[in-house]
Structure 1
Amino acid sequence: MREYLKKTWMLASLLWVLLPLGQTVSAQSNPKLDPLIQNVYGRQTISLNGNWSYLLDQLEVGYYNYRRTPDPNGFFKDPVVDNVTAYKEYDFDSAPVMAIPGDWNTWEDRFFFYEGTMWFKHKFLYKKTDHRVYLYLGAVNYDAKVYLNGTKVGEHIGGYTPFNMEVTNQIKDGENFVVVKVDNKRTTEGVPTLNCDWFNFGGITRDVMLVEVPQTYISSYYVQLKKGSKDTLTGYVKMDGAVASHKVQLEIPGLRIKKELTTDAKGYASFEIKAKPILWSTENPYLYQVSLSTDTDKVTDEIGFRTIETKGRQILLNGNPVFLKGISIHEEAPFRSGRICSEEEDLTLLNWAKELGCNYVRLAHYPHNEKMVRLAEKMGLMVWSEIPVYWTIQWENKDTYQNAHNQLMEMIERDQNRAAVIIWSIANETPHGEARDRFLSNLAKAAREKDNSRLLSMAMERSDKSATVLSIQDKMSEYVDIISCNQYLGWYDGLNEKIDRVRWEVDYEKPLIFSEMGGGAVAGYHGDKTQIWTEEYQEELYKKTLKMIDERMPPVAGISPWILMDFRSPRRLLPQIQDGFNRKGLISNRGQKKKAFYILQEWYRNK
């Protein structure tokens, strides 16, 4: 693991040597950030959540001057003006406030469709100690520039993964202020790109906090079962600071493990320990208290141990075949339809999944918040976690690749100790082609280099052999462990009667899952089962699709139908039916269960 960064950089550099000349290159890769601090919720923190002042800045006058060059005295400086003759065309102190975390689109109606720049400012008091201090942001959508007391401390691209920067030298004893410039404009070179099927909620959408750590501290760790083993724990610990020859105590009281590790010159120590843990499973999601400590630092986590692998067309959890009884979920709040920003909203969605009979959730199409993953783990739900490499992005753009790579690494780094996460997904519904294959195969290799203990997949599209002989033919199949297919028989592909006429030929000796399937319905809209948009049509679609899986398909290892709950999408324009919502949910955005919910629930009950 300690050679990971060096190897990954060499891999990325080698990939882009092969790109054609004249490609478009734009600033999409993140500048240098401090390595992500793992498990911030298990550390000493000071929350900066709450009311933040905000200024909408459509023309970015707070960042550029009238010649469109960066202004060194932009809004981030926010000098105190106590002279009535001083000239200043903005004022955070008299500006309105917004609750953080949150999205601006649902904060005020006038911001609903706004895509662009908004500035946020928050004042706080701080008492300096001998600790180092990091500013941590759980997610900012999409392009964030961060300033503390008028000094730029970092920036980050990507709307769904956490980042942090050390601010020990910038933070003051007494009053401080942090300013964040947030820009959620979609771009052709972005990840995701201009065109996608979910709402582009802008803002500081997850927790903001100060993290206090000793001068030398435990920055990252990995503790899991060794791949293919049920009786050997393996992992590493990484220190930051004066790191050479540091003693680290690893303790797992529930397994009577107490082992001393010694770091090398780079602050890294690896280990293998014999143990026979109770295995985490969907029926018994057992978690152990794991602590790592030094003479100055201690981090405690709850970690489960399980094995996940494939054998032929089966997925094996702890060596036993498991059928993934799943559902796809967007990180959108029930009832109010904004970005989720509370644990209660996470729980509502996950409890609905459990009520449906799920043992598995596909968290689409981007990494969801850390609390969502941890809650799923405690509830016995396996997790598919995905980065937003979605539809058609710029496959030959070096910076687009680096952006996707960064988001992949940040996702894995945050959740690599979560037993619930069994699948890393690198893409959704991407078009075949050499540039795409090169892009995605390199992401796949990077994911395995970072963490080879989980399964790898991506949501593919069909490549049919004829109108009624359906198949999957994708070069990326050789790079993934699970063949995942999004299919919409009865919706985008014919009416429900077509489902009865097709047969499938899948040539790969790997597990096959339907990562998406389904159709739309308006809750409370009833009619004949042949009438689209009715609950009866959606119900019939599910009946026929599930019968097809049972009777006329090669073995299927799981499904995650699209989707648990209706969600906002600006692509969905049909008045009085869609009204800006994707209506494929089994539950409406107001919490009404549709008839298809009970069809799938019964099928899972008997599976």
Structure 2
Amino acid sequence: MKIKATTILAGLCLLQSAMGLIYAQTWQNLITNIENRQVTTLNGMWKYIVDPYESGYYDYRRQVRDQQSWQNTAEALYLAHKPAHKGERVEYDFDKSDNIIVPGDWNSQKEKLFYYEGTIWYYKKFVFTPTPGLPRQFFYFGAANYESDVYLNGKKLGKHIGGFTPFNFEATGLLKEGENFIVVKVDNARGLEKVPTVNTDWWNYGGLTRDVLLVEVPETYIKDYYIQLAKGNSELIEIHVELDGPAKVGQVVTVNIPDAKLTFTGVSDENGVVRGSIKARKLQYWNPGKPFLYDVNLSYNGHTLKDRIGFRTIAVKGRDILVNGKPVFLRGISIHEENPLRGGRAYSAEDARILLGWAKELGCNYVRLAHYPHNENMVRLADELGILVWSEVPVYWTIQWENQETYNNAENQLLEMITRDKNRASVIIWSIANETPVSPARTGFLKRMISTTREADPVRLVSAALERHEKPGSRNVQIIEDPIQDYVDVISFNQYLGWYSGTPAQIMDNEYEINYDKPVIISELGGGALQGFHGERDEIWTEEYQEWLYEETVRMIDRIPQLRGVTPWILADFRSPRRLLPDIQDGWNRKGLISQTGNKKKAFYVLKKYYEQKAKEYGE
């Protein structure tokens, strides 16, 4: 396993952009496999203050308070300051403020915050009792949308940028035995320089949207690891273990896989890294039909970290995608991280079981988690259920391709996604973009992202959801004119023939011209329908129209020789402020095969039948 080389110093590195945005490169410090460590949940009820003018962060001259020498004054909101005497002026009070549940977005919890974009301060008191033998503590956030500044007992721990990837900050020495308080400034305001930028087609849910945990670890501990089959070798497990702490050099680390009767022992180098491999000739492989997971134990200095890991190979050969050397057809569906039944951000294991359970019922062996990294419950459950995964970063539509700070942000989110999920057998494709218009600056940006992805993980496949175009001089020949096709493993593109272009009656008149000997995945297709709205099949927004569109589309795409997968758009209706048609959309994107009430539309069964046919063709 190659580890990305970097000149950035260990620890939190802050870069100041020309636009004044402080950007945090945080992927290097990420602790993985949180669920199997000593953790205390901080989930539950928090206090919050809405701060649209960011008065707690900036003074009246727009100077950042936490960078000023007088930061301990009563005016600094993030300190949760209490007046020392009755004459001292304090213009806020967390203890008297409203409550909000964490994890969760503020939009769906508070009607007054439904459309709110800006800063909210979160506050929680908690009691800490240290665990003997675990002297270091970190605060871990599954995600917070979008910029987060974290303070413990009035001292700043760090800043994170990006709404869908995990991050953690060390609190050792600042955390007290007994009562403490944590304050988090969360700002979900959109910006042209951000990733994603101001224009998207999903709801901009704000807040502490995933778990907040207090993690305790030894003074020197196993921070991260990679244990997967080597590229192109189904009998060799590569091992890479990273220690963190003052005694990280020259330490003995053991990796044991009891059911495979395999044990590896290595010594950490000058960087605290253990590298090696194990020959494994009789492994039971993880595959979609039988997702076998091994118990894996990593031991160091009397402490053991457990995980459940599947071993499988993934490769492309000509037009085929091979899992464990066998060609597969990826019977997929696209999914947003939203529980449509409550109309809010999905985050829990229960949410994951609803969404992936629907995908299994549809006949899927594959899902596209769009358009950003989903919560860890989704990929871990996909491991258990045997569902292959496309995981994506929100380089979406048009962002600032020539802004180096924007690229740094995108790359950091990419590396946080890979760092968290690189041991999940279900994840087979990293996607670096969606529907980005071709230009020299954009192509250079994406080529750098692809290079970073391959350096960080040389085993998995790389793709991007591209756009289709009509061939010049032809009315019905569709092509993908994009130089990124030369650099990806799988050619993927979105197409909405019969919806944004023509009608279902015209779909079969089209054909695709793809001049690459690579597998093809259609990453989006489909059209909208309001569940329960019926009529003639040529009446738009009816279930019959969507059903007809799917019938004609699956017939048409089946003529593409290289077609090896499809993820129609989308599993379930989801909220979008772009979708305003009264009595039909009402703030929802209606392309789902399942409604916001959990009812299946007629097109669901068209796709299910098509997948049954494809499963038989591939002997599944």
TM-score scaled to structure 2, two decimals? 0.94
Q: Report the equivalent of 1:80.
A: 82
> What is the deviation of 1:7?
7.3
Once residues 8 and 155 of structure 1 are traced to their aligned partners in structure 2, the CA distance between those partners, rounded to angstroms, is 16
- Displacement over 3 Å in runs of 4+: 23-26, 31-34
State which of 90, 94, 114 in structure 1 corresponds to 2:92: 90
Task: Find the counterpart in structure 2 of residue 528 from structure 1.
Answer: 536
Q: Does 1:566 align with 2:573?
A: yes
1:576 aligns to what?
583
Question: Could you tell me which residue of structure 2 aligns to residue 5 of structure 1?
Answer: 5
In structure 1, what is the equivalent of residue 551 of structure 2?
Answer: 543
Q: Which residue of 2 aligns with 1:452?
A: 458
CA offsets 1:312-339 (integer angstroms, 9 cap, x no match): 1110110000000000000001311100
- How far off its partner does 1:2 sit? 6.9
Q: Is the 8 A contact 2:336 2:370 kept in 1?
A: yes
> Structure 1 27/595 Cα, relative in aligned 2: closer, same or farther at 3 Å?
same
Are residues 1:192 and 2:199 paired? no
Matched residue, 1:63: 57
1:216–1:296 CA contact under 8 A, matched in 2: no
**AA paired with 1:58?**
P
Identity of aligned pairs, percent? 53
CA RMSD of aligned residues (A): 1.4
Which of 398, 407, 411 matches 1:401?
407
Query: What's the CA shift for 1:86?
Result: 2.1
Structure 2 CA distance for aligned equivalents of residues 344 and 37 of structure 1: 24
Give the Cα–Cα distance (whole angstroms) in 2 for the partners of residues 476 and 316 of structure 1.
22
CA–CA distance in structure 2, aligned partners of residues 332 and 459 of structure 1 = 21
- In structure 1, the partner of 2:272 is 267
Report the Cα offset of residue 78 of structure 1: 1.4
Tell me how far apart the structure 1 counterparts of residues 22 and 454 of structure 2 sit (CA, whole Å).
23
- Residue 467 of structure 1: CA displacement? 1.8
- 2:493 matched to which residue of 1? 485
Answering whether residue 462 of structure 2 is matched by residue 430 of structure 1, we say no
Instruction: Give the alignment of 1:227-246 within 5 angstroms.
Output: 227-241=231-245, 242-246=247-251
Task: Check whether the contact 1:28–1:403 (CA below 8 A) recurs between aligned residues.
Answer: no
Relative distance call for 1:126 and 1:590 in structure 2 (3 A) is same
Whether 2:210 is the aligned partner of 1:206: answer yes
Q: Is the 8 A contact 1:285 1:304 kept in 2?
A: yes
Q: Is the 8 A contact 1:525 1:535 kept in 2?
A: yes
Structure 1 partner of 2:112:
110
Name the counterpart of 2:14. Answer: none
Once the two structures are TM-superposed, the CA of residue 31 in structure 1 deviates from its matched residue by 5.1
What is the CA-CA distance between 1:401 and the residue it aligns to? 0.1
Alignment of 1:186-585 (within 5 A): 186-241=190-245, 242-275=247-280, 276-465=282-471, 466-550=474-558, 552-585=559-592
| Aligned amino acid, residue 78 of structure 2 | F
Contact 1:334 1:345 in 2 (8 A): no
1:36 aligned to 30, 39, 58, which one?
30
Cα deviation digits, residues 478-514 of structure 1 (max 9, x gap): 1110000100000001111220111111001100110
1:376 deviates by 1.1
Q: Is 1:47 aligned with 2:41?
A: yes
Indicate if the aligned counterparts of 2:491 and 2:519 stay in contact, CA closer than 8 A: yes
**Deviation by residue 1:279-333 (Cα, 9 ceiling, x = unmatched):** 1011100000001101142210000000010111110110000000000000001
Q: Aligned partners of 1:455 and 1:479: how far apart in 2?
A: 11
- For 1:114 and 1:263, the matched residues in 2 are separated by 49
3-state SS of paired residue (2:291): coil
**What amino acid is the match of 1:213?**
V
Deviation at 1:83, TM superposition (A): 2.7
SS at structure 2 position matched to 1:353: helix
Structure 2 residue aligned with 1:20? none
Q: How many residues align?
A: 593
| Distance (Å, rounded) in 1 between the aligned partners of 2:601 and 2:452 | 41
- Looking at structure 2, the residues matched to 7 and 66 of structure 1 have their Cα atoms a distance apart, in angstroms, of 37
Paired amino acid for 1:228? G
Tell me the alpha carbon deviations over residues 345-383 of structure 1, each in whole angstroms, 9 at most, x when there is no partner.
111111000000000000000000001110011001000
The answer as to 2:191 corresponding to 1:183 is: no
* Change in CA separation of 1:31 and 1:362 when aligned onto 2, cut-off 3 Å: closer
Distance in 1 of aligned mates of 2:478 and 2:2: 45
Is the alpha carbon distance of 1:3 and 1:537 closer, same or farther for their aligned partners in structure 2, counting shifts above 3 Å? closer
What TM-score, normalized to structure 1? 0.96
Residue 188 of structure 1, CA deviation = 0.2
Q: Is contact 2:337-2:345 (8 Å) kept?
A: yes
**Partners of 1:93 and 1:296 in 2: how far apart?**
42
**Aligned with 1:540: secondary structure?**
helix
Letter in 1 for 2:589: N
Counterpart of 1:400, as a letter, is T
- Answer whether contact 2:464 2:491 (CA < 8 A) is retained: yes
Structure 1, unpaired ranges of 5+: 10-22
CA contact (8 A) 1:280 1:286 kept: yes
Give the Cα–Cα distance (whole angstroms) in 1 for the partners of residues 488 and 57 of structure 2: 43
Name the SS for the 2:337 alignment partner. coil
| Corresponding residue for residue 13 of structure 2 | none
Read off the aligned partner of 1:484 and give its amino acid letter.
S
Report the CA distance between 1:464 and its aligned residue: 2.2
Q: Distance in 1 between matches of 2:49 and 2:379?
A: 33
